[in-house]
Amino acid sequence: MGLRIIKPDTNIDFMGKRVVAMIASILVLALGLGAVIYNGGLNYGIDFAGGINIQVKFARDVEVREISQALRGQGLPEIRVQELGLDRANEYLLRISALDVNAEEMRDRIGTVLSENMTVDSTIQRLEMVGPKVGADLKNKALQALFYAVLFISIYISGRFEQRWMTAGIMAAGLLTGLYVLGLLALPLAYLVLSALLITLGLCWYLRLNYALGAVVALIHDVLITVGIFALLGKEFDLTTVAALLTIIGYSLNDTIIIYDRIRENLRSKNAPPLFQTINRSVNQTLSRTLLTSGTTLMVVLCLIILGGGVIHDFALALLIGILVGTYSSIFVAGSLLLGIGPTPENEPEEEAVQAA
Amino acid sequence: MSGLRWRIVAAVLVVGLAAVYALPSILPDKGPLSSVFPDKEVNLGLDLKGGINLILGVDMQTAVNNTLERMGEELRAEAREDKIIVLSPQVGSEGKLHFELLTRSKEKALDDLLDNYYADQLRLDSKEPGDRRIRYTVSMTSQYREKLQKMTIDQVLKVIRNRINQFGVTEPDIRRMENNRLQVQLPGLEDAQRAVDLIQQTAHLEFQLVDDEADVDKATKGVVPPGSELAYLQKPQPDGSYTRQPIVLEKNVLLSGEYITDAQVAFDQFNQPYVALSFDRQGARIFERVTGENVHERLAIVLDEKVYSAPTIQEKISGGRASITGQFSMQEAHDLAIVLRAGSLPAPVDILSERSVGASLGQQSIEQGIRSIVVGGILVLLFMVVYYGIGGLITDILLFLNILLIVAVLAGFGATLTLPGIAGIILLIGMAVDASVLIYERIREELRRGLSPRKAVDEGFSRATLTIVDANVTTIVAAVILYQFGTGPIRGFAVTLSIGVLASMFTAIFVCRIFFDLWLRQRKPGSSLNL
């Protein structure tokens, strides 16, 4: 017989703690938002802000201070030096945010300055330069990606999950029309995406696509909290972070759908208890799966953070935060929200009959 | 579920096929089997292999301006044949061509000329009558601009491809992107600077006479005689740097690089490399005439507005050969020969983004990535066995199959494995157990409800399958969007993620069921299911 972490008859009152959870969520969100405002916006990496990153490996231990001193007063643009990775590989990242510098020239000059002013041998291992034009394009694309992910996911949930493809289609059409009209106003893309999200939420509300609404709110919650914690930690925001966010969206949705699936199933049984108990029961029934999957995923993500090296570190960190937040949100945010607005009324008895048989 | 035998056959076929495709990537040394197995290995991304990724922007405005300028000269020559005097065609800063008609009586004739020859290409914006002259402003029609744009990009692509092919990079990848951009990937190449120089050089070669009568000092102060221009002669120093010596050239270009058929590195009597040029027949004729008419004058060889050398013409040179000397290093001479052979770029290109990774770092990334996979994987494998017993063992086998399938699909489709891709695989190891967990937890629940093991397994699978599909399709949606909007390594991550999700659905729903059916079959009737 295998092990059990969660006893079969576990019945934790998750919904009873929803107010505490809500306060916690709002607190973390506010902290993150505060950090973003305090920093004067997100700390964009060179993918979005443009600039040059040069990764240098030294033959032995050096101090960040030594490198900064060696670079100072050489007529080079403002260069920030930071240590890379956790494994003491003597690797450092030199960051130049000035936009109009030539990558080749910088490679040459930094190489020369380091070899002339430091006693330690160094090699340039990696150089990344993103010009302002490409940076702006990448930022737009990343925003679009996040937006379309949320849009398609809400359509998919409404269609596949609630069997309401027509309504989902109406929502998509409404959203695209709204976007077209907004597009005529020539707003910056960030506002466009924000408005699109609000329209999506409004449409979900209006069309009573309640499962989709709950899932999307949970998604936005997860993304905002991860971004906020990244801002709090002073981490940089680049394309890999966006990839991590999209992965988190996928992951968090996994969790939410599995819990919603169970709620829907339990509501269908003949003598279903009131919604409050049903949601609690569903969360408890899926709890051991939730903990197991999150646990194994966290296990490997931790390996990635510890052993994966500097390049992948922030990506793994975003995943770690996202998985923790995603697991929490599928219980407390998605669950509580459904309790607040009520599940979408069932309107496909044939489907049920097939499933029950 | 029935037809267990057929399901086993199908699963073994899929797994066998996957093994065949995955093997070359897992075992680098294929030995005698190499003739039987497909030899496609997983394609490693630049971040793992090391190499250079450039995004180039083609400076279209300059291409348009150059074309307008050329059209202005053509128009002037054309008009002269009809006895119409057109003055000073010039491209303004706003990208339009301005010129003046000397005598107003010829207005009709010039308009006809514009109509007959340039209607497709030029559009008349305004005519401003002056005292006696008329000032014309024309601009390029949008159709012609588009055509020019397309031609220019095609040409740039061709020239860069030629240069890189001759440079000797294995498997370069050059492709067009939106917004007049090109992406150039040079795997395994370490010397980014050299590659960038080679690609970015416009390689516009011109032969111009040196204006020896002009006062160089005055010219540097801005007083250049009409018809001449100031340029700089590059003088290489022993330490490898260059000094720039001012020199005045006659503006008139006598011969340009378009007539070059070949450029090769050759050596002079001091074993110094230089670049030997050959012209085509027309070029050879022009060169012969130019050198014949200007004996004892200095002929400057100008590449991208830098004067490489300005030798004195000793005699008429026939045979269509010339040389560029300049105390080059072997590498410089070699690269110069390549750009001259491959032709000049019709428009300048800017480096909009550059990412280069040293091969040693790439190697390190692979090692770290694989180490994380192994450690994370072992932890998960152990945990599953401890938690689910035989069920956990089945999950472990499924995990191996998963990784095998991912590697096989990556290799078979020639997809690229990147560092985020490795991260994707690691993440998938964690998530791949999700499907098993869903099924097992469901079976445990059904067992608790008192169902017989067979019934519980049936119920568990059928109820969990829908949930698994729902949950995984959303991940695929996210992956497809990642692919659509991502670039480079991110795309690699998206591909790995979708392949992994599909593989885990296959193993969990299809293969896992086979194992359970086998397990149920050999279990003694009446005993409980040890899950």
Give the pLDDT confidence of B10-38 residue by residue, as tens digits.
999 999 999 888 888 776 665 555 566 66
A331-344: per-residue pLDDT in tens? 999 999 988 887 76
As a whole number of angstroms, the distance between CA B180 and CA B190 comes to: 27
Q: Determine contact: B320 vs chain A, CB below 8 A.
A: no
Mean pLDDT rounded to a whole number for chain B: 86
C-alpha separations of B33 from B23, B26, B41, B234, B403 in Å: 10, 14, 14, 58, 22
Q: Torsions phi, psi of B144, nearest 5?
A: -70, -35
The CB-based long-range contact list for B185-190 (8 Å cut-off, 24+ gap) reads B185/B46, B185/B51, B185/B52, B185/B53, B185/B54, B186/B51, B186/B52, B186/B53, B186/B54, B187/B46, B187/B49, B187/B50, B187/B51, B188/B49, B188/B50, B188/B51, B188/B359, B189/B51, B189/B52, B190/B50, B190/B358, B190/B359
Q: Which of A158, A242, A209 is nearest to B474 (CA)?
A: A158
B156-198: per-residue pLDDT in tens? 999 999 889 888 787 888 989 888 899 999 988 878 888 888 8
The reply to whether residue A303 touches residue B531, judged by beta carbons under 8 angstroms, is: no
Which of A106-115, B112-121, B390-399, B424-433 has maximum average pLDDT?
A: B390-399
- The contacts of residue B49 (CB under 8 Å, 6+ apart) are B187, B188, B359, B362
The reply to whether residue A300 touches residue B389, judged by beta carbons under 8 angstroms, is: no
Question: Beta-carbon neighbour count of residue B342 at 10 Å?
Answer: 22
Contact criterion met (CB below 8 Å) for B484 and B466: no
Sheet architecture: strand order including B97-101: B86-91, B97-101, B134-140, B122-129
pTM over 0.90: no
Q: Which of B99, B150, B145 is nearest to B122 (CA)?
A: B145
For the segment A137-154, the average pLDDT, to the nearest whole number, is: 81
- State the DSSP H helix or E strand holding residue A130, giving kind and residue range, or none if neither: strand A122-130
Note the pLDDT of residue A24.
Answer: 94
Confidence of residue A350 (pLDDT cuts 50, 70, 90): very low
Nearest to A129 among B353, B473, B531 (CB): B353
Share of chain A above pLDDT 70, in %: 93
The reply to whether residue A128 touches residue B484, judged by beta carbons under 8 angstroms, is: no
A302 vs chain B: nearest CA distance in angstroms? Answer: 8
Minimum Cα–Cα distance from B375: chain A residue: A303
Q: Tokens 């057929």 label which residue?
A: B6
Contact criterion met (CB below 8 Å) for A138 and A201: no
Nearest to A247 among B57, B352, B427 (CB): B427
- DSSP track, A27-91: HHHHHHHHHHHHTTS--B-HHHH-EEEEEEEESS---HHHHHHHHTTSSPPPEEEEE--SS---E
Residue B256 has pLDDT above 80, yes or no: yes
Q: Tokens 């689910």 label which residue?
A: B388
- DSSP track, B242-261: EEEEEEEEESS--EEGGGEE
Helix-helix angle A132-156:B453-485, to 10 degrees = 150
CA atoms within 13 A on the CB side of A85: 20
Residue A354 has pLDDT above 50, yes or no: no
- State the DSSP H helix or E strand holding residue B323, giving kind and residue range, or none if neither: strand B321-324
Nearest to A127 among B356, B388, B530 (CB): B356
The reply to whether residue B358 touches residue A149, judged by beta carbons under 8 angstroms, is: no
For the segment A263-290, the average pLDDT, to the nearest whole number, is: 89
Q: Which of A120, A114, A116 is nearest to A94 (CA)?
A: A114
Note the pLDDT of residue A356.
Answer: 41
Note the pLDDT of residue A185.
Answer: 79
Confidence of residue A50 (pLDDT cuts 50, 70, 90): confident
For the segment B100-109, the average pLDDT, to the nearest whole number, is: 85
Give B 170-209 residues with CB within 8 A of chain A.
179, 192-193, 196-197
- A203 or B33, higher pLDDT: A203
Which one-letter DSSP state was computed for residue A237? B
Instruction: Write the secondary structure of B417-432 as one string of H (helix), E (strand) and C (coil).
Output: ECHHHHHHHHHHHHHH
As a whole number of angstroms, the distance between CA A46 and CA B353 comes to: 10
Residue B238 has pLDDT above 70, yes or no: no
As a whole number of angstroms, the distance between CA A264 and CA A164 comes to: 15
Which of A43-47, A169-173, A317-321, B163-167 has maximum average pLDDT?
A: A317-321
For the segment B244-254, the average pLDDT, to the nearest whole number, is: 89
Q: Torsions phi, psi of B124, nearest 5?
A: -80, 120
SS3 content of chain B, % helix, strand, coil (to 5): 55, 20, 25
Contact criterion met (CB below 8 Å) for B327 and B271: no
As a whole number of angstroms, the distance between CA A46 and CA A55 comes to: 13
Note the pLDDT of residue B2.
Answer: 61
A1-32: per-residue pLDDT in tens? 567 777 877 888 999 999 999 999 999 999 99
Nearest to A293 among B434, B470, B472 (CB): B434
For the segment B265-292, the average pLDDT, to the nearest whole number, is: 90
Which of A224-233, B130-139, B254-263 has maximum average pLDDT?
A: A224-233
B404-423: per-residue pLDDT in tens? 999 899 888 888 888 888 87
Q: Tokens 């698994």 label which residue?
A: B468
B349 vs chain A: nearest CA distance in angstroms? Answer: 13
Mutate: best of A297, A298, A301, A320, partner B, most B CBs <10 A: A297
Contact criterion met (CB below 8 Å) for B428 and B406: yes
Give B 247-276 residues with CB within 8 A of chain A.
none
Note the pLDDT of residue B484.
Answer: 83
Note the pLDDT of residue B486.
Answer: 76
A149-189: per-residue pLDDT in tens? 877 887 888 777 677 788 888 888 888 887 788 778 777 77
Contact criterion met (CB below 8 Å) for B394 and B432: no
What dihedral do alpha carbons B495, B189, A90, A81 form, nearest 10°? -80
B195 vs chain A: nearest CA distance in angstroms? Answer: 10
B294-304: per-residue pLDDT in tens? 999 999 999 88
Bridge partners for A94 per DSSP: A54, A81
B369-404: per-residue pLDDT in tens? 888 888 998 999 999 999 998 899 999 999 999 989
Note the pLDDT of residue B379.
Answer: 93
**Chain B partners of A307 at a C-beta cutoff of 8 Å?**
368, 371-372, 375
